[in-house]
Structure 1
Amino acid sequence: MTTANRSLVFSDGFVISCGTVTVDLAASKVLLIRSRGTGECYLPKGRKDIGESLQDAALRETWEETGVHAHLLPVPITTRATVPTATAAAGGRMTNGVLKVIFWFVAAADSTATRDNGTQQEDEDFDALWVGWDEVRSTLTFEDDGQIAEAALVAAKATMR
């Protein structure tokens, strides 16, 4: 039997997550979340629901975790996707033996707008914070989040030209 250069993961071996790198272009800020329990800082993301599009999941998770209403920002990035709104990146992490595939989107929002309260789920305990573009990488806890944010910022800034 011939083997192909690809991976096979059954449905109980992975989870699909979606998130955003949400920017306020006018204020040069990025939206992050900080865990009240650990102090770790992340980009907002979470699990995609059955029947939900990747884009809708990313925006819903951003709203749930931050109370911020964001919208997708069309950005000029290289992609192999055939859909008009492409992900900024897709990454994978292993957590407890389960592959977590994360689809990231670039989004925009107003950092001065009033946030909705009570949007977090019972097991979530985050503070939303807007961080200046120059501080994002050093504020995020995980290196891969910093790489995602940096790539998204390059793409977002290109829309300002």
Structure 2
Amino acid sequence: MPPHVSSPIYANFPSSNLTIGAGVAIFHLASARVVVCYHSRDKYWFLPKGRRDVNEETGAAAEREGFEESGYRNRLLPLPLSHRQPRGSSPITSGSPYATEPVWTQLIPQSASVQYLLFWYVAETVPADVEAAMTAKEAAAAAAAAVSDSTAAAARTAASASPAHGAAARSRSAYVPPPPFPPVLPLRARVRQDSRVDGGVCEPVRHAGTGVDAEELLYESQLLPIAEARRKLRGSVMADVVRVGWEAVGRRLEMEGGGGDEWIDDGAGAGTATSKSGDKLTAGS
């Protein structure tokens, strides 16, 4: 059942007592799977999330945290979502029925005096060409940072005493935000970008060692079929983030003329996206 919906409240927090965070459900559309993380020490499943960096947009923070905690590059997915935000006057977004707004928001006490405000977004894994371009950009950024930092090697020695910490620091400094989902790209066309000539689907790349501290380096991640992911996240808002996101994917397909009711998790464990007739939706249907 859906999580309890809280009543509206009055609350006031100075910036010194407020932490803003963002989390994300990352879907691989072509295989009807979603990225779920697992804490290898504490033995629980979760969706990637974390604090927004200073001056960072919250949606961009969701993408970055998704990458750092799961290892999967991702970008926010425009979907037909129920929200209360005005459309605005941007020629790119004002006429679109799709949005990248958060699907759930949580207020979680972080301490006796600090409030945590957490926004949950929906995203997708990136196609192979975007993956390759971003990998090249990150390599160039890391190389430039290494040259720049060479004059401060002594200061870095204490901070990178352990190999794990050093790897985490490098991954954070080299992160490159993804390009946004193309505004005119239909979802079925996006799915075809992940299709192989043999009828299978291209697996998104999972990068190792993207965690930014010792705790995050304990995280593991998997692409799981939608139903299995919801079972592992049962009882949390995260399970409903997956549900809401996947249902919105189906609605967008239906709005595009693709029969969104046919976009289902086949429950077979392989995570293929199929129609009710059994045809793979990676074809040009």
Answer whether TM exceeds 0.5 for this pair: yes
Moved more, 59-68 or 85-94: 85-94
Moved more, 75-84 or 121-130: 75-84
- When Rg is computed on C-alpha atoms for both structures, the one with the higher figure is 2
- Which residue does the alignment assign to 2:30? 26
> What's the CA shift string for 1:105-154, capped at 9, x where partnerless?
11011681222222101221100111111112211265221122211221
- Judge conservation of contact 2:27–2:123 (CA < 8 Å) in 1: yes
1:48 aligned residue (41, 48, 52): 52
- Residue identity opposite 1:147 in structure 2: D
1:116 aligned residue (207, 220, 230): 207
Residue 167 (structure 2) pairs with residue 74 (structure 1): no
Deviation at 1:80, TM superposition (A): 1.6
TM-score where L is the length of structure 2:
0.51
- Which residue does the alignment assign to 1:130? 223
- Judge conservation of contact 2:226–2:242 (CA < 8 Å) in 1: no
Aligned equivalents of 1:47, 1:41: Cα separation in 2: 19
Note the aligned Cα RMSD (angstroms): 1.9
Does 1 or 2 have the higher relative contact order (CA < 8 Å, sep 6+)?
A: 1
**SS where residue 24 of structure 2 aligns?**
strand
- Residue identity opposite 2:39 in structure 1: S
Aligned residues: 157
Residue 52 (structure 2) pairs with residue 57 (structure 1): no
1:93 aligned residue (101, 104, 108): 108
- Which residue does the alignment assign to 2:122? 106
Deviation at 1:11, TM superposition (A): 2.2
TM-score where L is the length of structure 1:
0.88
2:250 aligned residue (150, 157, 160): 157
- Judge conservation of contact 1:136–1:146 (CA < 8 Å) in 2: yes
Aligned equivalents of 1:152, 1:7: Cα separation in 2: 29
Aligned equivalents of 2:109, 2:241: Cα separation in 1: 17
**SS where residue 82 of structure 1 aligns?**
coil
Structure with the higher fraction of residues in helix conformation: 2
- The percent of aligned pairs where both chains have the same amino acid is 25
Consecutive unaligned residues of structure 1, counting only runs of 5 or more, are none
